[in-house]
Chain A
């Protein structure tokens, strides 16, 4: 071999090393290791506490932003390279992910997760199981919904700010529509009852009986159609402020007091209301709306090919059953848990200044018991997106009747998912 050839080979070799070294990782330490992928800040607190309790375990947490998190997770699960031992999954993506055959079966021993599920609300238990009823993940968060309302507005327009009384006044959508219509008029268009139609949509879609797809056939649960009709009525009667959820107008309205009710789950208290409207502390209340509902949630799942299953399970167990940790979490972070037993124990003592001293754990516990299970198929997240687009078209008048809307929706579903029978 000539020198130049040698040099060539050397350089190519060097380059390959540079490329490949980046892909491999070393793991030759004595400490037990645990790799976690998450999309939520909450994990930091939990991991910190977990490490305090288990100093012999080295935890490596990778934080990836919500949407990208799922895409990355899917791609590592697909190629089975670099898969974390434990990963967090948001509820919207969970129905799809829990059916992936690379998630550890937690029903079997040594996990016997059924014992943990027994301590949780029924709707969470249903979510945690795949289509065959095998437990694929553990939810650590309790997410029953509530109608958050501004006490000052309630007093002004309803004559009372007492949660029980307010609840009676908004026990069905008709009452809310009437209130909405009246309030808009009395406030010269300043105040609306609801922020947008998703307040109706999120409550109603929790109450479906069937997912979008059953046996490869599209099913349109009548509850969803009713919700669209209600939304149309609400839009026409000016019950809705039409502030896009999570948009700047929406967050500002909390501070300004231009919307009376927000249908939001437990976690909205610290993450949405206290965050967006810190100066309105004490002006808020929570109460029951027309129907019980839930919103969001996070699940922990384990990779079935993980080499650290034991430690992974330690962490999952810690986050769902460790009484000391969970009590601390609930108290310090206003975190409503999936663990019913601990919530019940805390209910008498936990109050929120932001909610004017209301015993919110007691309230949410009640809401959690009533929360319906809403079955989801692997398609539901995608099809929800298509449905919402069509409902928007219907509300904005591009699709004139509900029949047009359904026909157009079916057409789109059929286009995007040829394997689904739409009629």
Chain B
């Protein structure tokens, strides 16, 4: 009934096969294909014609590409710094032994993460709409302004609004990850420090923070990758326009617009790979700085 030699190896492949097949078909193939497309000019109807590096040359001189990168970066930084710090503080507080209603707070802070970005964008757009937005109505009711302010025409304000949405949406998520990390830190260390008379703040900076380093690195890297791909929030907020003055046009929105509303698939692919390079560079930088710090500390 059984063959004489056990062949464990094939079972292993079998179990991982579904992932790889799906990844090859729906992941790797499209990536390779769009890499090929980035060297072509293609509208989807005629056959792609090879244009060499033309798309990349256009990319390097493309004002909108740089502007969208800049927008993405500003929006990301303004959202990610409070996101990673506020969530860390909350995580530490909610990790304390004697806090009442811990699990309720954890759940409540996590809730915004389940709301879809599109509905959030829409909601905020309504709140800040020019003539009837509730924010303007409120300001007028308390007499701070006489005429409604056109918030949607202020580039920096709109960028800030996108950042706020992102922050609100993701701080709970970051907090959960931090809490998981905190649970990995041995209570013994904290108790030992307490017995030695260290204050809470001292414990946080000397024990918790250093031991959380890998978690922080993970958060930074994932948020870089996620941050570079900001799309839904500004798209829904500005109805896909990236206005005012293209200030909320993020790189992925620009990519989407180029490939799927102007049907310039070749150039769209080139933007995707340009963006890929930028993400790689940022990831390397963040890894390097984190590693350098760890090494310094080990010395």
Contact = CB atoms under 8 A, between A and B. Distances in A.
B21 A15 contact: yes
Contacts of B129: 244, 247-249
B260 to A, nearest CB: 6
A12 B62 contact: no
A22 interface: no
Contacts of A110: none
A54 to B, nearest CB: 33
Given A4-B7, A382-B262, A242 B17 contact: no
Interface size class of A (residues with CB under 8 A): 35 or more
Interface string A87-104: 000000000000011100
A416 B261 CA distance: 11
A7 B3 CA distance: 14
Interface string B1-32: 00100010011011001100100000000000
A247 B131 CA distance: 10
Interface in B226-281: 241, 243-245, 258, 260-263
Interface string B140-176: 0000000000100100000000000000000000000
Interface residues of B, number: 31
A398 B262 contact: no
A341 to B, nearest CB: 37
Contacts, number: 72
Interface in A137-181: none
Nearest to A393: B245
Contacts of B150: 396
A415 interface: yes
Nearest to A12: B17
B58 A418 contact: yes
A78 B258 CA distance: 17
Nearest to A102: B45
Interface string A209-244: 000000000000000000000000000000001111
A4 B244 CA distance: 61
A211 B18 CA distance: 52
Interface string A379-423: 000100100010011001010000000000000000111100000
Q: Which among A4, A241, A392 has the greatest number of chain B C-beta atoms within 10 A?
A: A4
B243 A389 contact: yes
A393 B244 contact: yes
B45 to A, nearest CB: 6
Q: Which 4 A-B pairs have the closest CB atoms?
A: A78-B44, A249-B132, A249-B131, A4-B10
